[in-house]
A and B are shown apart, each in its own frame.
Chain A
Amino acid sequence: MIALAVLRFFHWADDSAVAAAIRGSTWVFAFIEVFHLLGLTLLLGTVVLVDLRLCGYGLRRQSLAAVASDALPWMLVGMAVTMGSGSLLFVSEAMKCYGSPPFFVKMGFLFTALVFTFTLHRKLTKRDAPPPPVWGKVAAGLSLFLWFGVGLAGRAIAFY
């Protein structure tokens, strides 16, 4: 039942006018991909920045809460750019994604990373009192693992 709905959704995306328009041009796909990479740079860059502070390896002269709140707006910009461009890339080759194990791995990582970032991770980085060093390192490690997992699995879609 759910599997059928998922398949229908992928077909619907693949058959859409947007998909046809992107596929119809040689350069549009590459152009959207550039934006996907620029968004990735900003998103992963800010994630690394906050996690370096969280595990105590960088920006130690600033408080964790200050680094996190400074980085947040740009992380959101990075997310908006990667997800906007990513949706277009997905739509244009939805059926290829349907047959690609790395795509589903990537979506799993992405969902987990988003939930973790906006719940536990945000809670830890928002407080004035820094978390115990061990928890900071665990949270930073998990965050880096999840976000770089998204990137790694994403790159793998092109190879399968």
Chain B
Amino acid sequence: MSLFDICQALQNSAVGTSIRESLWTFPIIETIHILALALSVGMIIMLDLRLIGAGMRHAPAGQIMGQLKKWYVIGFGTMVASGVLLFWSEAAKCYRSNSFRIKLLLLLLVALNAVFFEIVYKPRMEQWDAGQNPPAGAKLCGWCSMVLWIGVIGFGRWTAYGMK
């Protein structure tokens, strides 16, 4: 069974079909997917802006991160859950969409960037966070995160546009 067959089977499944064919289910899930951007990417971009020194300067980055974690985890969870349902209903179409492939690739890079930050910079955060200026590498992680997330949103929108 190829990856395409799996996608086709998902799309044809009872869940996939019912989301796709109902009048309200798809738009409602899509609206949740878009409005949850505020809690997920919105929060993450504010953290990134703090890391690169362009915003939220009243608080150390580590403090903001710790305090907001609960909220962007909720936002991210909502994003993934609603995104999986949308994918489920159009899996075969997504498989063929170049925008969707690029979106997934960018999400993978987002994850790698986050893991890199967690391993390399997070453990020593107490030391560098007291000063106004984070190390160059940590700043770079902030830039990468921001640019990648903007790409995810762009290619996400493009995926929907290409499927009309």
Contacts and interface: CB of A to CB of B under 8 A. Distances in A.
Contacts of A48: 38-39, 42-43, 71
B71 A58 contact: yes
Contacts of B39: 45, 48
A74 B34 contact: no
Interface residues of A, number: 33
A44 to B, nearest CB: 3
Interface in B60-78: 63-64, 67-68, 70-71
Interface in B139-155: 150, 153-154
Interface stretch (B50-58, B81-89, B106-114, B129-137): B50-58
Given A38-B150, A152-B31, A67 B46 contact: no
Given A37-B157, A48-B42, A70 B56 contact: yes
Interface of A is mostly: helix
Given A47-B38, A48-B39, A61-B63, A70 B31 contact: no
Contacts, number: 97
Interface residues of B, number: 31
A131 to B, nearest CB: 19
Given A70-B58, A74-B46, A155-B30, 14 more contacts: A34-B153, A37-B34, A37-B37, A40-B37, A42-B45, A45-B39, A45-B41, A48-B42, A61-B63, A67-B56, A70-B57, A71-B46, A152-B35, A155-B27
